[in-house]
Each structure stands twice: as C-alpha cells, then as structure tokens.
A and B are shown apart, each in its own frame.
Chain A
Amino acid sequence: MSSSDQPYIDPSEIPLEEAIAQRFKSPSDAFWTGMRDAAGAPAMVLFAGMVGFGAMGKTNGFDVWFTTFTSFFMFALPGQVVLFEMAITGSSVLAIALAVTLTSTRFITMTVTLFPQFHHKDRNRSLYASVHLLAMTAWAISMREFHAIETKHRLGYFVGLGLLCWLISIPGTILGFYLAGMVPPAVTLGLVFINPLFFLLTFTEVKPWINRIAICLGCIFGPIFFIVDRDTSLLSAGLVAGTLAYFIDRKFLRKKAGLIG
C-alpha cells in the first residue's frame, strides 16, 4: 500500500485507490461502519470483560464510583486489574502508578503501528484525544481492516470503532459491580476467561510471518520473564521476543536481504 504522503509514482495505483474508495461514501459512513463492526463479537467480549472487572471491584470492597472511573479514564483492562490488585495489597501510590504505566507501554507500540496509517491531514493534535479510544480490541480490528479502507476514511472508522468500545465499557462495569454475588462462581469463571481467550483467538488471524514468529516467541518468553521480574515482564518479554522475530525475519525469511525501508 502506498504511503499517504507520497504522490502516485505508478499510475496503476490510481484505479486501485478508487476501488477502495467505494467502500465508504463519506467520513460519517466510515464512522458508523466502524461502530457496526465493533458492535458484534468485539463489543460483546469487551462488555463481558468489563462486567468481570466490575464484579472484581465489588468483591474487593471498592465503591461503584471508583470502579467505574477506572474503566472510564484508564480504559485498559490489564492495567485496571493491576491497579486493583496492588491497591488491595497496599502497595505505595508510586509503585502502583509505575506498574500500571509499564503494563500500558503496549499502547506506545500499538499507536506507533496504527496511527501512521491515517491520512496526513488527520494527523494533527486531535489525535491526542482519539488515542484514548485505543485499546487491544480496536487496535486488532483496525490492523486487520485498514488495508482495505481508503486512508482518508480510516480515522472516522477508528473513532466509530473505539468510541463504541469505550462507551460500552461503562455500563458493563456498573452492571458487573451490581451483579457480583448474584451470579454463581461458574459464570464468573467464564467471564474471567473470555478476555485471554479472545486475545488468543485473534492471533490465528495474523498473517505476516514476522508477527507470527513474534507471537510464538512472546508466548515462550512471557512466562520466563514473569518469573524473573513480574513488574517489567511484559515490556522485557515483548522487546526480546519482538527483536528476535525481527532479526529472524530479516536474516532468513526476507527474499531481498539487507533491504532498508
């Protein structure tokens, strides 16, 4: 796919772009399609995850405002769970903030991989607001769909997708908070399991070999680094496994060795 800020060097690219353009008529069309794409399984999964989180807040003695604010302002389930666990065990405020920030470092790489795919006109300061809508769910769907969406409609699609995910997490958390204690433990077990299972299933849709290798290595290094040092394990496992996958791809898999983009 041609980069958005490059002129068409090859005229054969122009009809291709037009074919893609037919997918959406207007930015609002892209926005509502994004919402519709999120409204199926992804929103259901996220909603279930937030219900589980709300239930966790209730069973651990937090009030409904604190639990809901966490979903609203953080909107990052792993970080939210870390915050709760550390608050329960009485960690210091500084340690909590640092640990949560470390679990959120994945957003740096997610943003850096996703946002350059927006049209250059959309890449202004307003992205600092839209970036709050970025989470695992919206990222995974966007990475999968963006290649088939014209660059100028990608932001609208992403905002529709992310906004629905964010808005649905609030009632999910509140529902979970008040449901806790009412549902049997077996149901709670299913709710807790739905998040990791969803992540696992999305991996089967990853196509490039470099990323497949990265996933396999991440699965191996993740537990090892977790035993060595829990707080930084995600960051260190990601860096080591990702870098290794990159070099395996570069040395052995790429046909044009030494190609520098």
Chain B
Amino acid sequence: MDTMTNALSGWGLWIALLGACIGTYFCRAIGVFLSNSINQDSEIFRWLAAVTYAMVAALTVRLIVMPLGLMATVPLWIRILICALSIGVMISKPTRRLVPALLTGTLLMVSYGVMR
C-alpha cells in the first residue's frame, strides 16, 4: 500500500510521539503557570471560559459535520438527525438524562450501520 510506504516508521514514529507528548503536556503546564496569576472572578476568566467553550464547540461540530474516516461514510443528514434526536432525549427531562441520550444516539448509529 502506498500509505504504508509513506508512513513514519521505527524511531521517527517514536520521536513524533515524544514531540506530541511534550507539546500536549506543555499546554497543560502553561495553563497551571498562568492560573496562578488569574483570579477566577476577573474579566479575563470570563473571556477565557468563553474561548474554551467556543473551541470545544468548534471541535465537536467538526467531528460531527466534517468527520474523517469511517464516520464520513454516513450521510450528513443522518448524523444531524441522530444528534437532534439525542438532544431531544437529553432535554426531555431537566435532571440527568445523559446515559439514555448517549445510548439513543449510539444505538441509532449502530442500527444505521446494520441496515445500510
């Protein structure tokens, strides 16, 4: 396979993992470092919370609307329909309904995979 000949292998792969681990930990450590100088009631706290929620929302919508690999084989309207139904289950009761909602979405996706 072409992809296999291009793929990183041996030491290169492990060095890439090392770089990825350092980069990931660096972001966590920088957060700890900065958190010492930021009061949670300050304006910058409100701004950073908004930025974080926006970033996670961007990641989520990307995973649902523009997925890579296997999920991309599912039509967009099916993905969105299943999300809408799961949210419907989630908000149908004000108390925790996370597990029923998650099971609804996951089982619907598996059912689609079985039926297609």
Contact = CB atoms under 8 A, between A and B. Distances in A.
Interface string A211-234: 101111111011101100000011
- The majority secondary structure among interface residues of chain B is helix
Given A66-B14, A190-B109, A210-B50, A218 B24 contact: no
Given A238-B51, A246-B50, A97 B20 contact: yes
Interface string A82-118: 0101111111011011101101111111111111110
Contacts of A114: 35
Contact of B20 (A40, A83, A242, A260): A83
Interface residues of A, number: 107
B40 A189 contact: no
Contacts of B109: 189-190, 193
Interface residues of B, number: 82
A115 B32 contact: yes
Contacts of B17: 66, 69-70, 73-74, 83
Given A198-B102, A219-B61, A261-B41, A61 B55 contact: no
A87 B13 contact: yes
A197 interface: yes
B71 A200 contact: no
Interface in B1-30: 3-4, 6-8, 12-17, 19-30
Contacts of A184: 113-114
A65 to B, nearest CB: 10
By secondary structure, the A interface counts as helix
B61 A223 contact: yes
A36 interface: no
Contacts of B4: 61
Contacts of A100: 19-20, 23-24
B90 A234 contact: no
Given A87-B13, A187-B113, A222 B43 contact: no
A33 interface: no
Interface of B: 3-4, 6-8, 12-17, 19-32, 34-36, 38-43, 45-71, 74, 79, 82-83, 86-87, 90-91, 98-99, 101-102, 105-107, 109-114
Given A93-B8, A100-B20, A261-B39, 11 more contacts: A56-B69, A83-B16, A89-B7, A90-B6, A93-B15, A109-B31, A110-B31, A112-B35, A190-B113, A211-B50, A240-B54
